[in-house]
Structure 1
Amino acid sequence: MGETDETVSEAPSGDVRGRILAAAAELIAAGGPDAATTRAVAGAADVQAPTIYRLFGDKRGLLDAVAAEVLGRYVAGKAAREPHADPVQDLRDGWDMHVEFGLTHPGLFAIMSGGTPGAASPAVAAGMEVLRARIRKIAEAGRLQVSEARAVGLTQAAGVGTVLTLLGQPEGARDLALSETAREAVIAAITRVAPAVAGDGARGAAAALRASLGDTSVLSGGERLLLEELLDRIANGEARRE
């Protein structure tokens, strides 16, 4: 162990960190998050356990770092992909990529889905921005029939739930059609078949106008906040508040 420790201490910290992340990722892929114990990771990466604590704080910090590393590459590729001309089809493609990632990386998906509520890693936050951008494109096309916030929340909740449900099924007997059914149910709930036109109803028009507010500078901050709230209520079909 003496020679190993000396080698590690002389190696650039980035090399050691990358080796630890790679070792932990392999263990998670083979046996899930529980397999990536500090001792197992240290052994696989040929470092001492204190090195892991120094770089990542604790096991949760290590697991979060592994998830962020892999998810970051996935999100970067997803964001760089040429979007489909039809924003609704682009959302479909994004959904399918999300489900494929979850089924391909079940251990990492479990880590990402089991974090502290409200505390998203930078990679997860970046993924949410990609989803928000897709929803915004649908709104700008006049094809969203709920508020953007509700559309994002529904899509995220249904997407995560779909992956977790499929991961809970035996791998050889997964009902993969469940994903398509859930996807189309979400799309039907948040979109309209064709772009909003005059006389086509207030909900789609409100969502489209809400998405376009960034193009105007004639409103004060307070006026914009009030208009955003009103448009969201119209888009979501909420009853008048007494």
Structure 2
Amino acid sequence: MRAAEQLLASSADGQISTREICSGAQVTAPTLYHHFKDKHALLDAVVLEGFNTYLDGKRAIAWSGDVLEDFRTGWDVHVSFGCEHPAHYRLMFGNPQADQTAPAALVARDELARTVAEWGAKGQLMVSVDAATETMSAAAVGVTLQLIAAQADSTHPISTNVRDTIAHALFHPLNPGDTFADGVTRPARQLLDALPRGPLERLRPTEVALLREWLASLADSSI
């Protein structure tokens, strides 16, 4: 595994041979096949081990709790990993066939799905959890593979432009400096304050009373 990891790190496209691996490890091919079904199984194990190390570092990040900031941070970390480990990343995401999905890619997908589900449970998404997860994954992988092909780094405008476009499409809009709660309570409070105290056209008195009650509840204030 160490020999394969070193070869992979120095490879631009992840194309390394069994002969190279055995030579680097100073073993014969039967030794490799004693431990792994084939070369692809060995590379899957190497990539998964490296990606789990990356995930450990990501889980140690002090997240802000602000959905947009944390989304951008997570996106940037993902793209940076791909640009810094292009051969690993291609093995993870370079083959779109479902039956050939690398184990590390499955781990990444599960991690993303859990995070997006938490955002969805808090009402921070404008679309379903599944739609948001698939959109984020497709966009991040596509951008990262494009940057790898262009030999660009994660600070390229392609990444930041797509990232911010995705954020605008998936998350409820907030004003700068707002928490997510401000995105609901502030407009409710403003609308409540703007309502005249008397009757409203097109609404019956019972509907007006109910509207005021709902707005007051959302604004966490009294009528």
TM-score, normalised to structure 1, is 0.66
Shift of 1:122: 4.3
1:177 to 144, 147, 157: 157
SS in 2 for 1:144: coil
* 2:64 is the counterpart of 1:84: yes
2:8 to 20, 28, 39: 28
Separation of aligned partners in 1, 2:103 and 2:19 = 27
Shift of 1:91: 1.4
How has the CA–CA distance of structure 1 residues 149 and 69 changed in structure 2, closer, same or farther, with 3 Å as cutoff?
same
After superposition, where does 1:68-79 map in structure 2 within 5 Å? 68-79=48-59
In structure 1, the gaps of 5 or more residues are 1-20, 201-242
Aligned to 2:167: 187
Aligned to 1:157: 138
1:146 to 103, 107, 127: 127
Two-structure CA RMSD over aligned residues (Å): 2.2
TM-score, normalised to structure 2, is 0.72
In structure 2, the gaps of 5 or more residues are 175-179, 188-223
Q: Percent identity?
A: 32
Check whether the contact 1:95–1:183 (CA below 8 A) recurs between aligned residues: yes
Check whether the contact 2:120–2:129 (CA below 8 A) recurs between aligned residues: yes
Question: Mean alpha-carbon deviation: is it higher for 118-127 or for 58-67?
Answer: 118-127
1:49 to 29, 32, 56: 29
Separation of aligned partners in 2, 1:122 and 1:108 = 12
* 2:111 is the counterpart of 1:126: no
Separation of aligned partners in 2, 1:67 and 1:176 = 25
Task: Specify which structure has the higher proportion of helix.
Answer: 1
Check whether the contact 1:79–1:130 (CA below 8 A) recurs between aligned residues: no
Separation of aligned partners in 1, 2:49 and 2:155 = 29
Describe the superposition over 1:135-193 as per-residue Cα deviations: whole angstroms up to 9, x where unpaired.
23322332210000000000000000000111111448x87111000101111111111
SS in 2 for 1:168: helix
SS in 1 for 2:125: coil
Aligned to 1:37: 17
Is the radius of gyration larger for structure 1 or structure 2? Answer: 2
